[in-house]
Amino acid sequence: MINANKKIQKLIKHKIVDIVHESATSISQETYLVGGAVRDHLIDRKRKNRDLDFVTLGCEIKLANEIRNKINKNLKISRFKNFGTAHINFNEINIEIVKARKESYHLSSRNPDVEPGTLLDDLKRRDFTINAIAVSLNNENFGELIDPLGGLNDLKNKIIITPRDPEITISDDPLRILRGVRFCAELNFEINNSLLNAMKKNCDRIKIISKERIVDEINKIIMTDKPSKGFKLLDKIGLIQILIPPLNKLKGIEEKEGITHKDNFYHTLQVVDNISQVTNKIWLRWSALLHDIGKPNSKRFDKKIGWTFHGHEYIGSKMIFEIFKKLKMPLNSSLKYVQKIVLLSSRPIILSNNIVTDSAVRRLIYDAGEEIEDLLMLCEADITTKNKKRRDKYLNNFKIVRQKIKMVEDRDEIRNFQPPISGKFIMSIFNLQPSKEVGILKEKIKDAILDGKIPNEYNSAFELLLKEGTKMGLKPKINEEKV
């Protein structure tokens, strides 16, 4: 890292670093910049609004007060007294100040007992050497890099390694397994072998980590440029089986009568990589990750046609709730979105393989609604064949589906389709309570519109309603006002 000092010069000119320097000087408290900001600057990794981590030899609150007063007296300081930490959030930048410390751990928790320590103690208690490089903010050696644990060299060699014994480091705080995998995936680094072994050995200890923290790291892995790298590592360590067991079941290839099916685990990871090239929507990436999880439970072998996975989208979409619940992920609109995308994930493929009728296209637009574009992106990402001819054929098929969708949409305005007759109206016309009949009649009107049998407007729908209601033995009240 020839230009290390030059690269750091840029960082120490940062407005907030300057303020921290001034503040530390005014209270004569030895202070250093550490962590991700130093690491990322050294490897030219650009990030917007990144957080800044400082370590100080003295009172973290005193320094935080000083900094706050220089930035804006009204800013809030959050304190975690037990860990000697103070946070200030300013303009979306997280400023974290920790008192230099030594740590000792108990088996049941990742929260250590802490006692004040030297700068070296503090660097040694950190997770990885690449995160344990300090930059002095003290007048006598301002801007100097302090790297007693060889972090610079590991950055150069793109290697993740712990300052202390990997076994102890990982067992003390198993969240470090996920952080290590995440840094590998984000930075395209490798994990040192003995660290990888320690991770494998301790993977069960992930249970002492809160689900929120785990999901936080999984989400960061899923948001990298090539998420397969992180997921393959998680798999190697044994964490896919523990955290998302249905994904683990996708692994493997079965053969019967000389016919094999693809390994759906590696296929899935390829799909996630593909979709990540075209979208940063986290829930679309999650949908790609889970789009095939129904396959193991729907797998059959048919002597004539080989392996089939009929209904895997439906089975898969039903499994997503449990996965989210187990990981304590939000059970809200994000869950619904992923369920919907997975449920519909084969529909455009069916369209692309058949002669496309307007009716089928209308139904897809109606069912997918606002998600139609995301769904098509997933389908295109789902093409993982290495055969170029076949790949081009599939892509071309989707091009045709897209054109057809556009044509039908422009003509019928179906995406935000609302049937022109409501359930309430049907009830009042036939003097019905909420019942099965109301649902059947509503469905018939919707189907007739989507199939193009009647136009999407009130008079035709009303006429059909009277006809179908009468067939069902219902008597309409006449002269009813439109509701």
Q: Is 217 helix (H, G, I), strand (E, B) or coil?
A: helix
Burial class (CB in 10 A: 0-12, 13-18, 19+), 218: buried
Burial class (CB in 10 A: 0-12, 13-18, 19+), 382: buried
User: What is the smallest separation between the CB atom of 130 and ligand ATP, expressed in angstroms?
Assistant: 8
- Among residues 126 and 229, whose Cβ is nearest to ligand ATP? 126
Which window, 23-31, 49-57, 164-172, 197-205, contacts Mg ion (CB under 5 A)? 49-57
Which window, 124-132, 284-292, 301-309, 345-353, contacts ligand ATP (CB under 6 A)? 124-132
- Among residues 169 and 317, whose Cβ is nearest to ligand ATP? 169
For the window 80-119, what string marks contact with ligand ATP as x by the rule CB under 6 A? ----------------------------------------
Nearest Cα to 295, choosing from 236, 345, 226? 345
Tally Cβ neighbours within 10 Å of residue 427.
Answer: 17
- Among residues 179 and 312, whose Cβ is nearest to Mg ion? 179
- Among residues 82 and 357, whose Cβ is nearest to ligand ATP? 82
Which window, 29-37, 199-207, 313-321, 385-393, contacts ligand ATP (CB under 6 A)? 29-37
- Binds ligand ATP (CB under 6 A): choice among 30, 51, 144, 263: 51
# binding residues, ligand ATP (CB under 6 A)? 13
Q: Which two tokens stand for residue 111?
A: 């929260």
Segment 293-352, which members bind Mg ion (CB under 5 A)? Answer: none
- Among residues 175 and 289, whose Cβ is nearest to ligand ATP? 175
- The residue nearest Mg ion at its CB is 36
User: What is the smallest separation between the CB atom of 176 and ligand ATP, expressed in angstroms?
Assistant: 5
Burial class (CB in 10 A: 0-12, 13-18, 19+), 403: exposed
- Among residues 98 and 375, whose Cβ is nearest to Mg ion? 98
Distance CA 286, CA 342 (A): 10
- The residue nearest ligand ATP at its CB is 36
469 binds Mg ion (CB under 5 A): no
- Binds ligand ATP (CB under 6 A): choice among 17, 29, 41, 53: 53
Tell whether the torsion through CA atoms of 330, 332, 333 and 338 is positive or negative: positive
Answer with the entry of Mg ion, ligand ATP, none that 131 interacts with (C-beta below 5 to 8 A by kind): ligand ATP
Give bridge partners of residue 307 from the DSSP assignment. Answer: 301
**Burial track 446-467 (b if 16+ CB lie within 10 A, e otherwise):** bebbbeeebebeeebbbebbee
- Among residues 36 and 423, whose Cβ is nearest to ligand ATP? 36
Helices marked H in 85-208 — which ranges?
Answer: 119-124, 151-156, 166-172, 175-187, 193-201
- Binds Mg ion (CB under 5 A): choice among 7, 43, 51, 306: 51
Judge whether 378 and 401 are in contact, CB under 8 Å.
no
Taking CA atoms, 48 is separated from 37, 94, 189, in Å, by: 11, 12, 21
- Among residues 127 and 235, whose Cβ is nearest to ligand ATP? 127
Nearest Cα to 39, choosing from 123, 102, 120, 110? 123
- Binds Mg ion (CB under 5 A): choice among 30, 36, 77, 299: 36
Judge whether 31 and 138 are in contact, CB under 8 Å.
yes
User: What is the smallest separation between the CB atom of 297 and Mg ion, expressed in angstroms?
Assistant: 41
Judge whether 247 and 265 are in contact, CB under 8 Å.
yes
126 binds ligand ATP (CB under 6 A): yes
- Among residues 102 and 415, whose Cβ is nearest to ligand ATP? 102
35 binds Mg ion (CB under 5 A): yes
In the block, which residue shows the tokens 């009647």?
Answer: 454
Q: Is 203 helix (H, G, I), strand (E, B) or coil?
A: helix
Segment 131-190, which members bind ligand ATP (CB under 6 A)? Answer: 131-132, 173, 175-176, 179
**Strands 145-146 and 159-160, bridge-based pairing:** unpaired
89 binds Mg ion (CB under 5 A): no
Contacts with Mg ion, residue ranges (CB under 5 A): 35-36, 51, 53
Residues that bind ligand ATP (CB under 6 A): 34-36, 51, 53, 126-127, 131-132, 173, 175-176, 179
